[in-house]
């Protein structure tokens, strides 16, 4: 499987995720959240940043089901579900992830008929520190 | 922009055959397409003093100029963002010529993706750092990235697979009239579309463009010079690039409004500096790496209101004789996928009156580049 190739701006996200925390970059001056992480606030141009913990709840904004041809590890689990989750406490922050039945479950572990736009989901973390999503009401 | 309006014209177009596999190198194909375009224009290679292509073009200016015996170059430009760069290559040449930096410009694209490696078979190319937010989750290919927007558009506006089929069918029907098209003599039916395999739900096989080997080129000169050329000049009436504020490339999911992509930005500039409105457009060549880009582009370029891009395709609107005949060579979906350059050359043929699917009396044509990525567009007129 592909593991994130981290850059300086993104590194804190993955360090927090490895500890089981979902944190989003925020401007330490004006407080605006931003994603993906970047060195400067596009609202007030401050370089001061902080990492704000979010509740890890959201709703499915959209989703796709990729089929092969895919990289071998992914082809083996296809079709699976890639979701775009809009965070409840940060509505314009949307995170790509997978809808799975549990923290280290296969990418295709939730039946297709359970997925819909608007479904409430909650973050879980894999053993490698990747945020994933489970249905709030499985 | 007043400087640019109708100040330059495309006077030559050229292309190689399109095929799944061609024996020659990208460099050789580039040279053949450029020579064909210059011959079409009746301009000698040593008169060329400007070149423009894409950043993803492997054949660089030095190679082309040396191999073809071009003159001293005083302008050269490469445009980024893959298929988003197609129309900007012409726009850059038009700007250079209109401002006196050059006199004869050639734009080209050569590509061997038909026989080249499939990027999703190669782990290394999957791992640029911006991909840290998407690829680990198996959102691997452009089709997956656009399918996310397509699903949302369907959910929000009632766009259907039949709407996407209308797009695929219009392109295929036109390719069936075009002997140069990969899909010449290969008709598409609704049954074939609906029963085809998924690539990334909700996009199926026929929602995806053809990976093709081939090269194309065009020649741009001043309007004054164009009057002495062999062919009817096709004027560059308006041109624009578009990279919206807070845009994030193809996975523009973190924007306030991911369903309004770069087309909207390019369109505002394009129409603002034109004597034309969407109602005045006779034929359109709209970038179609995926069918789902068409509804988004129809909305962005103002042919319909937001959310109506799917419904716009109904009733044969995109077919010959319809409200907006689309991709009349077959487009990326059914002629050839050469990063959209074939849409430019087909726009020129329509305004010359030489298309294999000619729109009678076509006098205006919109050509667009890749939507979803930083893009570009041209308004052409005769």
List CB contacts of A99: < 8 A, sequence separation 6 or more.
A60, A63, A81, A83, A110, A114, A115, A121, A132, A133, A134, A135
Q: How far apart are CA B212 and CA B254, in angstroms?
A: 32
Q: Which of B131, B136, B148 is closest, CB to CB, to A64?
A: B148
Q: Note the pLDDT of residue A102.
A: 96
Tell me the three state secondary structure of residue B221.
strand
**Nearest-angstrom CA–CA distance, B379 and B235:** 8
> Within 13 Å, how many C-alpha atoms sit on residue A105's CB side?
18
CB contact under 8 A, A2 and B136: yes
Tell me the C-alpha distance between B62 and B214, whole Å.
Answer: 20
Q: Considering only CA atoms, which of A96, A69, A130, A5 is closest in space to residue B124?
A: A5
Radius of gyration of chain B (CA): 19
Contact B291, B167 (CB under 8 A): yes
* Predicted confidence (pLDDT) per residue in A78-103, tens digit: 999 999 999 999 888 999 999 999 99
Helix (H, G, I), strand (E, B), or coil: what is residue B23? coil
Which value does ipTM take for this structure? 0.97
Say if CB B31 and CB B68 are below 8 A apart.
yes
Q: SS3 letters for chain A?
A: CCCCCCCCCCHHHHHHHHCCCCEEEEECCCCCECCCCCCCCCCCCCCCEEEEECCCEEEEEEEEEECCCCCHHHHCCCCCCEEEEEECCCCCCEEEEEECCCCCCCCCCCCHHHCCCCCEEEEEECCCCCEEEEECCC
Report the residue of chain A nearest B121, measured CA to CA.
A71
Among A91, A84, A89, residue whose Cα is nearest residue A56: A89
Is B253 catalytic? The answer is: no
- The B-side interface with A (CB below 8 A) comprises 118, 120-121, 123, 126-141, 143-144, 147-149, 151-152, 155, 197-202, 246, 248, 251, 253-254, 256, 258
List of E strands, chain B: 8-15, 50-54, 75-79, 104-112, 198-201, 203-204, 213-222, 234-242, 283-285, 364-368, 375-381
Confidence (pLDDT) at B162: 98
Rounded distance, CA B34 to CA B381, Å? 23
CB B30 within 8 A of CB B52: no
pLDDT tens per residue, range A4-32: 989 999 999 999 999 999 999 999 999 99
- What does the buried/exposed string (b/e) look like for B144-170 if buried means 16 or more CB atoms within 10 Å of the residue's CB? bbbbbbbbbbbbebebebebbbbbbbb
Distance (Å) from the alpha carbon of A70 to chain B's nearest alpha carbon: 6
Identify which of A125, A79, A84, A75 has the alpha carbon closest to the alpha carbon of residue A105. Answer: A125
Distance CA B207, CA A33 (A): 36
Average pLDDT over residues A115-125: 97
A interface test, pick of B121, B136, B146 with most A CB neighbours within 10 Å: B136
Q: Which of B182, B373, B204 is nearest to B290 (CA)?
A: B204
Per-residue tens of pLDDT for chain B, all 382 residues = 469 999 999 999 999 999 999 999 999 999 999 999 999 999 999 999 999 999 999 999 999 999 999 999 999 999 999 999 999 999 999 999 999 999 999 999 999 987 766 666 666 666 677 899 999 999 999 999 999 999 999 999 999 999 999 999 999 999 999 999 999 999 999 999 999 999 999 999 999 999 999 999 999 999 999 999 999 999 999 999 999 999 988 899 998 899 999 999 999 999 999 999 999 999 999 999 999 999 999 999 999 999 999 999 999 999 999 999 999 999 999 999 999 999 999 999 999 999 999 999 999 999 999 999 999 999 999 9
Residue B193 is among the residues annotated as catalytic for this protein: no
Cβ contact (<8 Å) for A67 and B131?
A: no
Q: So what's the pLDDT on residue B1?
A: 47
Residue pair A51/A12 in contact (Cβ under 8 Å)? The answer is yes
Task: Write down the pTM of the prediction.
Answer: 0.97
Alpha carbon distance B147, B199 (integer Å): 9
Provide the pLDDT for residue B123. Answer: 63
The pLDDT value given to residue B278: 98
Say which of B128, B133, B258 has its CB closest to residue A36: B133
Percent above pLDDT 70 for chain A: 100
Q: Which of B375, B381, B380 is nearest to B339 (CA)?
A: B375
Interface test with A, best of B133, B137, B141, B260 (most A CBs within 10 A): B137
**What gap in Å lies between CA B311 and CA B164, rounded to an integer?**
10
CB contact under 8 A, B253 and A94: yes
Q: Are B133 and A2 in contact (CB under 8 A)?
A: no
Q: What is the spatial distance between Cα A61 and Cα B153, in angstroms, rounded to a whole number?
A: 11
Task: Identify the helix (H) or strand (E) that includes residue B195.
Answer: helix B190-195
Task: Report in angstroms the alpha-carbon separations of B169 from B19, B173, B298, B333.
Answer: 21, 6, 17, 9
């Amino acid at each position: 499987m592909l593991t994130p190739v981290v850059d300086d701006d993104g590194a804190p996200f993955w360090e927090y995720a490895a500890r089981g925390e979902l944190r989003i970059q925020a401007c330490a001056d004006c407080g605006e959240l931003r994603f993906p992480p970047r060195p400067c606030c596009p609202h007030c141009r401050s370089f001061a940043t902080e990492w704000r913990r979010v509740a890890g709840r959201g709703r499915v904004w959209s989703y796709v089901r990729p089929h092969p041809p895919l990289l071998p590890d992914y082809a083996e689990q296809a079709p699976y579900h890639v979701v775009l989750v809009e965070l409840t406490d940060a509505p314009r922050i949307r995170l790509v992830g997978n809808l799975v039945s549990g923290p280290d479950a296969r990418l295709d572990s939730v039946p297709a008929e359970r997925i819909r736009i608007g479904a409430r989901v909650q973050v879980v973390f894999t053993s490698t520190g990747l945020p994933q999503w489970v249905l709030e009401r499985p | 922009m007043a400087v640019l309006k109708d100040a330059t014209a495309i006077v030559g177009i050229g292309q190689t055959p399109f095929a799944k596999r061609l024996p020659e190198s990208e460099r050789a194909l580039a040279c053949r397409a450029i020579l064909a375009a210059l011959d079409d224009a009746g301009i000698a290679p040593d008169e060329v003093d400007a070149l423009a292509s894409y950043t993803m073009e492997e054949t660089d200016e030095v190679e082309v100029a040396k191999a073809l015996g071009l003159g001293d170059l005083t302008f050269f430009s490469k445009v980024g963002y893959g298929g988003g760069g197609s129309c900007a290559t012409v726009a850059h040449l038009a700007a250079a010529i209109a401002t006196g930096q050059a006199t004869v410009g050639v734009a080209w694209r050569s590509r061997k993706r038909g026989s080249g490696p499939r990027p999703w078979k190669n782990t290394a190319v999957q791992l640029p750092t911006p991909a840290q937010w998407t690829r680990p989750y198996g959102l691997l290919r452009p089709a997956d990235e656009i399918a996310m927007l397509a699903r949302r558009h369907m959910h929000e506006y009632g766009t259907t697979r039949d709407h996407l089929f209308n797009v695929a069918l219009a392109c295929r029907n036109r390719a069936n009239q075009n002997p140069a098209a990969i899909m010449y003599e290969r008709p598409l039916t609704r049954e074939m579309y609906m029963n085809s395999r998924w690539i990334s739900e909700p996009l199926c096989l026929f929602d995806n463009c053809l990976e093709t080997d081939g090269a194309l080129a065009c020649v741009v000169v001043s309007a004054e010079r164009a009057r002495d050329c062999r062919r009817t000049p096709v004027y560059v009436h308006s041109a624009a690039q578009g990279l919206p504020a807070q845009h994030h490339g193809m996975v523009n999911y973190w924007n306030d409004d991911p369903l309004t992509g770069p087309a909207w930005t390019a369109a505002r500039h394009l129409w603002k500096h034109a004597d034309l409105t969407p109602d005045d457009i006779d034929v359109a060549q709209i970038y179609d790496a995926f069918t789902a880009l068409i509804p988004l582009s129809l909305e962005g370029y103002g042919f319909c209101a937001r959310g109506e891009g799917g419904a716009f395709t109904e009733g044969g609107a995109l077919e010959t004789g319809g409200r907006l005949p689309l991709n009349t060579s077959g487009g990326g979906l059914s002629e050839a996928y050469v990063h959209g350059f074939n849409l430019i050359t087909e726009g020129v043929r329509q305004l010359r009156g030489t298309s294999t699917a000619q729109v009678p009396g076509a006098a205006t044509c919109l050509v667009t580049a890749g939507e979803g990525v930083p893009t570009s567009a041209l308004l052409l007129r005769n």
